[in-house]
Amino acid sequence: MDRDRSTVWHPYAAMPGTVDPTPVIGAEGARLHLADGRRVVDGMSSWWAAIHGYRHPVLDAAVSDQLDDMAHVMFGGLTHGPAVELAEALVEITPEGLEHVFLADSGSVSVEVAMKMALQYARGVGRDGRDRFLTVRGGYHGDTLHAMSVCDPVNGMHRMFAGVLPEQLFAPVPRPRFDETCTDEDVAELRALLTADADRIAAVILEPIVQGAGGMRFYAPGYLRRVRALCDEFEVLLIADEIATGFGRSGRLFACEHADVSPDILCLGKALTGGYVSMAATLCTSEVARGVTAADSGALMHGPTFMGNPLASAVSLASVRLLLSRDWQSEVGGIESGLRSGLDHASSIDGVVDVRVLGAIGVIERDEPVDMEVATQVSLDHGVWLRPFGRLVYAMPPFVATAEDIASITAAMVAVAESA
Ligand SMILES: *Cc1c(COP(=O)(O)O)cnc(C)c1O
């Protein structure tokens, strides 16, 4: 623990570390094996990623089979089966019109690539001066600099990086909740921003239906449909960031399907590899690809060293096929009803302001932030790994979690919410 504290950075952490992390020595199915001998249910799917659970035999085999061929080769000038098959599979299962795939090495990079595509597209089609992005408040798109610039300006790191981040345009948090209708009034400010500044805007970027790390909110499909219509009206591209929502998490394979909407550019990550290694993807339409390629450079100016990594591609392909071969709708539907019944009474807890569930995502929102150290202890004592942030106690379990696992998770969430 001393060596960890003095040497290794953890996410959003001080150096040296101020809080002891929990040592893990293994994981299997929906469980993490802690160094102290406890086996706890993972309520977080390692941040949305491990949808099939840990050490899945099919995914393990995909990695070891690929190791027999090669772990990695550069992607400049070379190609290989796993990358091509993965790209084809993603085109096949994602919303209509997305035809081309850029394999990036993390979610934030896929957002950078999406934004770069939009900027190059603007240049390629002669819409110079479109260098800004329009988004909604309450969003999260990653931690690299351009991705940060479209994160929520209050929750995000805008103040710290004022003067460094490009200044983007922000519409209010989508108001209508998932099951509410969306009115003209709800998109009035978005429309006003587009009316005033469309000729400066390369794209609208947002998380469809589920705003993740920016506040865990679920908004109305009707809102997303109106955003799509406004983008068409003002000839602005729409970037959908489905890094958290992709691959069934919200109850549809992709959250855009709730609204029957296709974006011009789509970002995928997190569950793409089934949580095995880091990989992400940026998909775009043929129209976007044509515009990007028509720009001066004649090419998309991005190419990470580990682009299209064969191990990551092979395990992603196996994870996608495994998901489609399972009755994932029933699994996610079962988790949804388990979360709903387990969190049923949470809204009456002192200090709880909202409880919401969509697909395999459950959220308790409090009026005050939780104490992380207390929360960790309380949830581990309930046999569950949770990682609340701020005022939000939430879970997105692996799809392989059983009804008992979900009951443990909701009991732990309630206990954490009560622990204040
Ligand atoms: C996690 C996340 C990202 C960033 O992905 P990383 O792999 O952490 O870089 C971007 N957008 C959304 C919606 C995310 O949930």
Structure confidence by residue, pLDDT tens digits, 73-126:
999 999 999 999 999 999 999 999 999 999 999 999 999 999 999 999 999 999
Q: Is 199 exposed, middle or buried (0-12, 13-18, 19+ CB in 10 A)?
A: middle
Judge if the beta carbon of residue 214 lies within 6 A of ligand 1.
no
Q: How many Å lie between the centroid of ligand 1 and the Cα of residue 152?
A: 14
Q: Decide: pTM greater than 0.95.
A: yes
Q: In the structure encoding, which two tokens stand for residue 278, read together? A: 């880091």
Q: How far apart are CA 235 and CA 240, in angstroms?
A: 16
Per-residue pLDDT band for 156 (boundaries 50, 70, 90) equals confident
Is the separation of the CB atoms in 33 and 22 below 8 Å?
A: no
Judge if the beta carbon of residue 282 lies within 6 A of ligand 1.
no
Q: How far apart are CA 343 and CA 138, in angstroms?
A: 24
Judge if the beta carbon of residue 141 lies within 6 A of ligand 1.
yes
Q: Is 253 exposed, middle or buried (0-12, 13-18, 19+ CB in 10 A)?
A: buried
Q: In the structure encoding, which two tokens stand for residue 304, read together? A: 């990470």
Instruction: Give nearest CA residue, ligand 1 atom 8.
Output: 107
Judge if the beta carbon of residue 111 lies within 6 A of ligand 1.
yes
- pLDDT at residue 297, rounded to an integer: 87
Is the separation of the CB atoms in 110 and 268 below 8 Å?
A: yes
Q: What's the length of the chain?
A: 420
Instruction: Give nearest CA residue, ligand 1 atom 5.
Output: 107
Q: How far apart are CA 89 and CA 83, in angstroms?
A: 10
- pLDDT at residue 159, rounded to an integer: 81
From 48, 141, 146, 148, the mutation candidate for ligand 1 (largest count of ligand atoms within 8 A of CB) is 141
pLDDT tens digit sequence for 178-225? 999 999 999 999 999 999 999 999 999 999 999 999 999 999 999 999
Judge if the beta carbon of residue 106 lies within 6 A of ligand 1.
yes
Q: How many Å lie between the centroid of ligand 1 and the Cα of residue 239?
A: 14
Q: In the structure encoding, which two tokens stand for residue 8, read together? A: 């290794």
pLDDT tens digit sequence for 217-252? 999 999 999 999 999 999 999 999 999 999 999 999
